[in-house]
Structure 1
Amino acid sequence: MMLDTCPAVEQQQWRDQEDAWLRDTVRRHGMAVQYAAGAPPFAYSVGLFGLGHPELLVYGLDLQSSAWVLNHLGERVRDGERFGPGRPLRLHGWSHRLQLFPFHDGEEPAVLGSAQRFYGRGPADPVPALQLIWDDADGRFPWDEGYELPAGLQPAPRPHSPE
């Protein structure tokens, strides 16, 4: 749905329905996964911040892969594990390695829009997040020479820059 082309009342009704679904899903499962099929596609968690952990964001994967990765890591967070930058990860059952980087969502429109609304946050004080960067089939990351995936599939993380 292209919210920008809908009248304001329809936009609000859509957000109200999405917010109700988020509240219910986070209450039942501890988190939800939001997916955007843009260019590039991306997905992120909503609910991990309520467990004292940054939300997680991943670009460039399809819906099924994104949901699998985020749900797998979310389950580990619910079990008490904490992830942070600089600690490479492997997930049992997935051939890729992951690197985590701080992601600052202090711009408009917010990338993690549903998470920002869920926690009543905004650009001045966004929900903390970590961006997951995954390697290609040969184990190379976007910053490595010979990386095979298309440029822009995994945008560089947006760290917080002090003003």
Structure 2
Amino acid sequence: MSTDPHTTAWLDQEDAHLAAVIRRARFAVQYVGPGEGPGEPAFGYTIGLFGLGHPELVVVGRGASATHMLLDAAAGQVLAGRSLVPGELVEAAGEALLVEECPNPGDVLLGANRWYQRPAEYSVPAQQLAWASPPGCWPWDAGWDGGAHGQPRPGTWTA
């Protein structure tokens, strides 16, 4: 893949910034705003947990601030030695989150795969953290209200 010199310089700066954040905090959060299509929700994910032997974490359908807060809290538990397991209910930043396996991480973790220099077909693994809205009502329950962009189920959306 060839890129123009301006793009190469920008990517080099982004890589240096990401490296500094990961060195300082042991992980970073990448937030991606919503796309134009219905299958392109806003989401965020960690970069760095895979290097610690844990899947990266993903939160879908929340704003930037809430996404960062949830991922910071959940990743903090991983840094403290906890391994999150699919099917487990965890508390992070005062919210209940259900850990689910993300079956298509190569379509979602573009920045993490770039960081680890892995092609999409050999993507780093990821876990999607489902959230309840209102509290106690999950995306698969009647009465769930996920807001404007909702919270698509793992594997049904891409970056």
Is the shorter-chain TM-score for this pair beyond 0.5, marking a shared fold? yes
Distance 1:50 1:150, change over 3 A: same
TM-score between the two structures when normalised by the length of structure 1: 0.83
Following superposition, the deviation at residue 12 of structure 1 comes to 2.5
Quote the Cα distance in structure 2 between the aligned partners of 1:84 and 1:36. Answer: 25
Alignment partner of 1:124 is 2:121 = yes
Match among 110, 113, 137 for residue 113 of structure 1: 110
Unpaired runs of 5+ in structure 2? Answer: 36-40
TM-score between the two structures when normalised by the length of structure 2: 0.84
Following superposition, the deviation at residue 72 of structure 1 comes to 1.0
One-letter amino acid of the counterpart of residue 126, structure 1: S
Quote the Cα distance in structure 1 between the aligned partners of 2:105 and 2:44. Answer: 17
Unpaired runs of 5+ in structure 1? Answer: 1-6
| 3-state SS in 2 of match to 1:140 | coil
Q: Deviations over 1:109-130 (max 9, x none)?
A: x421110011111122100100
Alignment partner of 1:97 is 2:93 = no
Following superposition, the deviation at residue 138 of structure 1 comes to 4.1
Q: In the alignment, is the contact (CA less than 8 A) between 1:35 and 1:43 conserved in 2? A: yes
Q: Which moved more, 1:117-126 or 1:45-54?
A: 117-126
RMSD over aligned CA atoms reads 1.9
